[in-house]
Structure 1
Amino acid sequence: MAGSVIPFSLHGTGTGVLCSVSFQGSKHVLNIEGHPAFGGTESYLSPLDIVLASLLSCTQVTGKIVSTGMKGMKLGAWDVKLTSNLDNSVLVFGEQGVSNFRDVELTVSVENNLSDGDFEHFTSEIERRCPIATLFRASGVKYKMNWTSLRLPE
């Protein structure tokens, strides 16, 4: 089965470290402000917060997509924790190199009815198919995912 291309069109306006982003075809507007380390005032989430939250939520959304192709699979609650460290030497101090997170680690627990082998297949498919995870891995960041399978409550 061939997929399709999903178009995205965004528009941003702003001043200083504050940006307002609108999304074509959507009523949503996302206000974003630079991290406090870069002049933000904590009025809105920073681009760094949002990109990390995107990875966290994309992991769960991709899991739901993967589960629809696994006959008889049932999912319950997800618990996803993410930790990361940003190396600001390029961004803030202009050193040579690529501005990037030093590391990103996700710890994921998900309720399901899978055998150990099927859970391993499920998680490997999530890691392979999540477009945000692909961006992080391709960037060269030290990337790690830890998975825990939890039984669905009776």
Structure 2
Amino acid sequence: MAIQPKETVVPFALHGEGSGVLPTLTVAGDAGHEFLTDAYPAFGGADSAPSPLFYALGALTSCNQVAVSLVAKDLGIRLGRWTFDAQGDLDTAVLVGGAAGNANFDRVEVRATVETDATEEQFARLISETARRCPVTQLFERSGLELINDWTRAELPAAV
């Protein structure tokens, strides 16, 4: 008997093809979104598209934005504009030089500013619950790198 997937499981699938370090990635499904990745020349690329490492950081910040929106809704908190900045520190000795060790980022820092009507206590819960519920944050946290998650609460402007 085949194992039936849970009703809440959504598959995320994509297809990649190309040559060298320049793949074209196509998201499975009706929309058929495509994107390219490339690498810096030092890694064998031409820097004609963002590095997969930038996509990883972009996935982290954008997944946080989705998660914080869902969490805010559940907590009854209003959100306005937000900004996310991320930096990953990568020692390239393993990737480029083949050294022994872990090819992962050593450290990733996310800085976010979110306009909200949340109190400081509510904002602290919003941040911790967002980190818990964001799949990409969990990938980064569980990978063993040093993850700095620095969020700032900004006042939500009065409605015009």
The TM-score with structure 2 as length reference comes to 0.90
Structure with higher strand content: 1
Map of 1:48-87 to 2, 5 A cutoff? 48-71=53-76, 73-87=77-91
Q: How many pairs does the alignment contain? A: 152
In structure 2, the gaps of 5 or more residues are: 1-5
**1:29 is matched with which residue?**
34
SS of 1:76's partner is strand
The one-letter code sitting in structure 2 at the alignment partner of 1:133 is: T
Identity of aligned residues (%): 39
> What RMSD in Å do the two structures reach over aligned CA positions?
1.4
Q: Deviations over 1:82-121 (max 9, x none)?
A: 1221111111111112211011001111000011111100
- Give me the whole-angstrom Cα distance separating, in 2, the residues matched to 1:14 and 1:54: 22
CA contact (8 A) 1:88 1:99 kept: yes
Runs of 4+ in 1 over 3 A off after TM superposition: none
Q: For structure 1, list consecutive stretches of 5 or more residues without a partner in the other structure.
A: none
Displacement after TM superposition at 1:3 (Å): 6.7
